Structure 1
Amino acid sequence: MLGRALTFAVLTSLAAPAALADSTGVQRTWLERIAISAADKSCNLFSEGERLALQSGIYQAQGELLRANKTPAEMQQLEAEVSAHARSLGCAHPSVVEVAATIRSSYRQFAKTSYLEYPTPRSTWAASRSGHDKWAVAQTDAKTNVVFGLRRVKDDFKLSVSMPAKGAQPQTVQLVMRDVDKMPEAWLGSIAGATKELSPPPRSIS
């Protein structure tokens, strides 16, 4: 099954993140990234920047699979199988060499890109490397124009919320966070699984 995974053009989406796809396509992309990441751990294929971009791509695909109700147990089993197979190919295997070269080329293009958009089911995350942009990573609510994300403050980033200056001035803000000791897995908006509606985690796990 995974012998073919390393022959695909892995991570060409580094240069331009792909739009949301069906879960089958997302799973294939995730497995490809897992495979070459496992090969990198054995063969030291990439620079730190390339490796960080690869890991970010893994997290992105992993999040989409979780939102599509793929269970962590299923994903862990697949990850173990793919990683073992990738390591068994060896560092000089033509597929490993070819895919590693593709990733390096993609990363060079990615590194030149100063602005990226990451689509999600409800909105889009905008990411900017430019020091002239006030927001490093942000998402804007289409209905209210409220902006949430990481804002550049001198030489640091701060989690921030920006609201239009109209109506009553807010006096308090409530930030609900999941207690990882009570619920280790990510909260996806519903006890029953992923839904189209956003909802905070219940107090019992917050």
Structure 2
Amino acid sequence: MLAAAVAAMMAGLPVGAARAAVTDAFYDRTFMLAAHRKCDLFEPALIAALDAAALQARGAALRAGAPAADLTAAAARARTKAARTACDDGDLNRVKARVEAGFAGWMRAARMSFPGDRSAWRGDRYESQAAGWRLVQDSATGRSPVRFGLAGTGPKTTVPTAVVSFAGQPRPYAARIVMRDRDKTPRVWLTGGGLPPETGRRVFFAGWSHAAAPTLLTEGARQGEAWIFPADAAEALAQLDPRETFVVEFLFRDDSVAEARFEAGDFAAGRAFLTMGAI
């Protein structure tokens, strides 16, 4: 849906034009969000959709090479314009009608893919009796498949979860997520495998683990372990730059570590997609 529209918009455009197109999309959506906060323009589900769209446009702009400072400036201009626009402004009401029409189909989407540079987050707004992936990305450690994302029975009842299916290996005694610490390393880190030195990292340990439900396993896997992380881990991931990497590490008693790399990508946009609720 939106991802396909962004891709179509950028296809065939020179790099500078593609960057400008997605930056403009980010500006427009930020303006409408700011105008809504001032004038109460939209219903909650549409705001969630618009929020996801703005985050995805920001991610696309960053991946197209737009400096983060330019996007911060664009957001500031959008909010300033919204503050100066009267709620009964004719142009604003015409744009409001276009947004409502444009997002009507998007709000009915049950599933959506949020592609990044190398990997994608897949969102799912269905509800079920068994836990399922509501937002997930696939990776691997060696030959063992690993999935990470938000799992639960519905889009608003999720927990950060990693599922791994080790073949012929002892069971790890712990699992942790490793990412850039935004307080210790304020600047985005895109070199050296995508993670800063250890002194600039943040770690979240899984609180517990259990046998993974079949609905969480990769296709063809017969068994696996689900490692459950604190909600703060999802919040921290949503604050990363879409181009950054984070790692899920599994720790063994012989001091070995198995790691699976993931792309932060549009995790934040995927989370916003889920806030629209079950469909």
TM-score (norm 2): 0.57
Question: Quick check: 2:23–2:66 contact (8 Å CA) kept in 1?
Answer: no
Unpaired stretches in structure 1, ≥5 consecutive residues: 1-11, 192-197
In the alignment, which residue of structure 1 is the partner of 2:230? none
Is 1:56 matched up with 2:32?
A: no
> Which TM-score applies when normalising by structure 1?
0.74
Q: Distance in 2 between matches of 1:125 and 1:156?
A: 18
Within a 5 Å distance, the mapping from 1:130-149 to structure 2 comes to 130-132=126-128, 134-141=132-139, 145-149=145-149
Residues 61-99 of structure 1: per-residue CA shift (max 9 Å, x gap): 223333444333332222222332344332233331122
**Structure 2 unmatched ranges of 5 or more:** 11-17, 202-279
- The one-letter code sitting in structure 2 at the alignment partner of 1:57 is A
Aligned twin of 2:159? 158
Higher strand share: 2
Query: 1:101 offset after TM fit, Å?
Result: 1.6
CA distance in 1, matches of 2:91, 2:185: 39
**In structure 2, what is the Cα distance between the partners aligned to 1:110 and 1:102?**
13
Q: 1:188 to 1:67 in 2, by over 3 A?
A: farther
- What's the secondary structure of 2:148's corresponding residue? strand
Any residues of structure 2 matched to 1:36-185 within 5 Å, and which?
Answer: 36-132=32-128, 134-141=132-139, 145-152=145-152, 156-171=157-172, 172-184=174-186
Give the 3 Å change call, closer, same or farther, for CA 121–13 of structure 1 in structure 2: same
The alpha-carbon distance between structure 1 residues 111 and 168, as it changes in their structure 2 partners (threshold 3 A), is: same
Number of aligned positions between the proteins: 187
Tell me if the contact between 1:137 and 1:150 (Cα under 8 Å) persists in the aligned partners: yes
Aligned with residue 2 of structure 2, among 9, 13, 23: 13
Q: How far apart are residue 30 of structure 1 and its match? A: 0.5
SS at match of 1:149: strand
Displacement, 1:32? 1.0
Post-superposition CA distance 1:131-179 (Å, at most 9, x none): 2371010012388642211111688322122233524245143421332
Give the C-alpha shift of residue 127 in structure 1: 0.6
User: Do 1:117 and 1:124's aligned partners in 2 also have CA atoms closer than 8 Å?
Assistant: yes
CA contact (8 A) 1:176 1:201 kept: no
Measure the CA separation in 2 of the matches of 1:65 and 1:170. Answer: 41
For the residue of structure 1 that corresponds to 2:118, the secondary structure is coil
Q: Give the Cα–Cα distance (whole angstroms) in 1 for the partners of residues 55 and 96 of structure 2.
A: 19
Contact 2:23–2:71 (8 Å) recurs in 1: no
Output the amino acid matched with 1:129. Answer: R
Cα distance change, pair 40–178 in 1 and its aligned pair in 2 (3 A):
same
Aligned-pair identity in percent equals: 24
Task: Measure the CA separation in 1 of the matches of 2:74 and 2:166.
Answer: 49
Q: What is the alpha-carbon distance in structure 2 between the residues aligned to residue 78 and residue 157 of structure 1?
A: 33
- Taking the aligned partners of 1:157 and 1:41, their CA distance within structure 2 comes to 27
Whether 1:203 and 2:198 are equivalent positions in the alignment is: yes
Q: CA deviation at 1:35?
A: 1.8
Secondary structure, in 3 states, of the residue corresponding to 2:180?
coil
* CA distance in structure 2 between the aligned counterparts of 1:147 and 1:98, rounded to whole angstroms: 43
Q: Is the 8 A contact 1:19 1:119 kept in 2?
A: no
Distance 1:24 1:199 in 2: 26
